[in-house]
């Protein structure tokens, strides 16, 4: 069986890859190497220089390095040329990769193409035209009405999709009942990369983008009010720094003695960051499709405190690997151990963890590790995709 994995993003190359928070980018590489470990031939269609054992096929690399601009456009204001040029570059780069992938499929060099990119728009048309077995992994929330994304999913609803959580699957089927979501496959991580520890320090951790949906401001507010250090790992690019959210909700607090802000880590530093945290906080305001950071933290033994949204209910085991908190009295998702809601519920959960007897807290950390070993490993993810590939191919 020969599998082509498509991640046709222009950001999947060398330096650009290092400065982006994107679970699909990392997972696609982990999965490619996991399939190869099982003896499956893999071609990785993406940017040049990505760290994988698979054969890499890229697009026209001068699109990365050259500073091409759109020519004069009759209805396009000049102050939008730079943004439009970026999206044109991304489109042409993706088109080059996708066309190479389907050409190789037609030449029988790959048996199935797995589009592992949230916006693999062009592959839908190639799959429909050329009848090449294709699978699309969903990484995003069900898109809103009147969006191109919802139109696209409706237009190609008969193609093969896989969800990354049952919550996400339900969300898509609620808006597109006939969408062909063939399975739910949870993400997996390497237990070796995220090793277990029983001896944390007294800080809470946050890893993720500084956007309202991730609830970083809630975590900061809680930490300051409780006199607990919150250590934040994020990458603040120009867009983030210029946002009203950052300027109003984050920047005023970054010099507070209980707030420590750092850039993204390499893998070893990231594992230590989780291992040394007393708890990981995820006060999400959106229906989190999966949340890799939760299983990374749990693999290191760090309990998760999170609002009851999206996949949180599938990842965290309430009272055993952390605490689930209803986000408000008007949004009750379950009868959790913590009865208070919103930030008051997070406060109670935080105080419970910090006041736990040593033996109970250590057992919670062991529970975290055990849960990831049972449900969220690379091997389980790869095995599930291999079985699905065979089902689609009829072998």
Please state which of the four CATH numbers 3.40.720.10, 3.40.50.2000, 3.90.230.10, 3.40.50.300 is assigned to the domain occupying 2-188+377-393.
3.40.50.2000
Distance CA 12, CA 8 (A): 8
What's the maximum distance between 2 C-alpha atoms anywhere in the chain? 70
| pLDDT for res 17 | 45
| pLDDT for res 84 | 77
Distance CA 232, CA 139 (A): 24
| pLDDT for res 266 | 85
Exposed/middle/buried for residue 312 (C-beta within 10 Å: 0-12, 13-18, 19+): buried
pTM over 0.75: yes
Task: Locate all alpha helices (DSSP H) within the chain, ordered by sequence.
Answer: 14-18, 23-37, 62-65, 81-106, 121-130, 148-155, 166-175, 216-225, 238-241, 244-245, 267-275, 292-299, 312-315, 342-355, 358-375, 378-393
Distance CA 323, CA 336 (A): 8
Evaluate whether 2-188+377-393 and 203-375 have a shared fold.
yes
Q: What is the pLDDT of residues 109-118, one digit of tens each?
A: 999 999 998 6
Distance CA 372, CA 377 (A): 7
Where exactly are the structural domains of the chain?
A: 2-188+377-393, 203-375
| pLDDT for res 74 | 66
Run of H or E including 55: strand 55-57
| pLDDT for res 41 | 98
Residues 6+ apart with CB under 8 A from 394: none
Identify the DSSP state of 142.
P
| pLDDT for res 148 | 93
Give me 28's structure tokens.
């696609």
Backbone angles phi, psi at 375, to 5 degrees: -125, -25
Instruction: Tell me the pLDDT of the chain averaged across its residues.
Output: 93
What stretches of 178-251 adopt beta strand conformation (E)? 181-184, 203-207, 229-233
237, 221 contact by CB (below 8 A): no
Residue appearing with tokens 């998760």: 304
Distance CA 286, CA 135 (A): 26
| pLDDT for res 286 | 95
CATH number of 203-375: 3.40.50.2000
Exposure pattern of 127-151 as b/e (b: 16+ CB <10 Å)?
Answer: beeeebbbbbbbbebbbeeeeeebe
3-state secondary structure of 323: strand
230, 281 contact by CB (below 8 A): yes
How many degrees, rounded to 5, is the angle at CA 12 between CA 7 and CA 15?
170
DSSP result, 77-96: -GGGHHHHHHHHHHHHHHHH
Mark the ranges of the chain whose per-residue pLDDT is less than 70.
13-23, 74, 118-119
Exposed/middle/buried for residue 194 (C-beta within 10 Å: 0-12, 13-18, 19+): buried
Spatial strand order in the sheet of 229-233 = 259-262, 229-233, 203-207, 279-282, 304-307, 322-325
For residue 160, what are the β-bridge partners? 135
Distance CA 323, CA 189 (A): 22
């Amino acid at each position: 069986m020969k599998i082509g994995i498509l991640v046709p993003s222009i950001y999947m190359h060398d330096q650009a890859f290092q400065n982006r928070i994107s679970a699909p980018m990392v997972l696609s590489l982990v999965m490619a190497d996991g399939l190869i470990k099982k003896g499956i031939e893999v071609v990785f269609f993406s940017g040049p220089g990505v760290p994988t054992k698979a054969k890499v096929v890229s697009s026209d690399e001068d699109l990365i390095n050259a500073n091409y601009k759109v020519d004069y456009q009759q209805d396009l204001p000049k102050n939008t040329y730079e943004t439009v040029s970026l999206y044109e570059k991304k489109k042409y780069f993706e088109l080059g990769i996708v066309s190479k992938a389907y050409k190789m499929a037609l030449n029988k060099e790959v048996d199935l193409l797995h589009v592992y990119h949230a916006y693999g728009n062009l592959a839908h048309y190639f799959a429909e035209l050329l009848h090449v077995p294709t699978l699309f992994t969903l990484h995003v929330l069900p898109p809103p009405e009147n969006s191109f994304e919802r139109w696209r999913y409706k237009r190609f609803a008969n193609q093969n999709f896989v969800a990354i959580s049952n919550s996400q699957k339900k969300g898509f089927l609620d808006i597109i009942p006939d969408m062909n979501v063939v399975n739910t496959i949870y993400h997996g991580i390497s237990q070796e990369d995220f090793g277990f520890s029983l001896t944390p320090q007294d800080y809470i951790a946050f890893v993720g983008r500084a956007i309202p949906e991730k609830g970083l401001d809630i975590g900061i507010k809680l930490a300051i009010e409780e006199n607990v250090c919150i250590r934040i790992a994020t990458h603040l690019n120009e867009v983030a720094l210029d946002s009203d959210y950052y300027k109003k909700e984050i920047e005023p607090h970054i010099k507070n003695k209980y707030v420590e802000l750092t850039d993204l880590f390499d893998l070893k530093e990231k594992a230590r960051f989780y291992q040394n945290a007393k708890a990981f906080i995820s006060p999400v305001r959106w229906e989190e499709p999966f949340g890799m950071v939760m299983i990374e933290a749990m693999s290191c033994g760090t309990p998760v405190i999170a609002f009851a949204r999206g996949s949180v209910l599938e990842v965290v085991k309430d009272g055993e690997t952390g605490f689930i908190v209803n986000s408000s009295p008007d949004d009750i998702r379950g009868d959790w151990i913590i009865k208070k809601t919103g930030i008051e519920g997070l406060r109670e959960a935080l105080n419970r963890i910090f006041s736990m007897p040593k033996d109970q807290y250590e057992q919670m950390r062991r529970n975290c590790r055990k849960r990831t070993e049972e449900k969220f490993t690379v091997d389980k993810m790869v095995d599930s995709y291999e079985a699905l590939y065979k089902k689609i191919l009829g072998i």
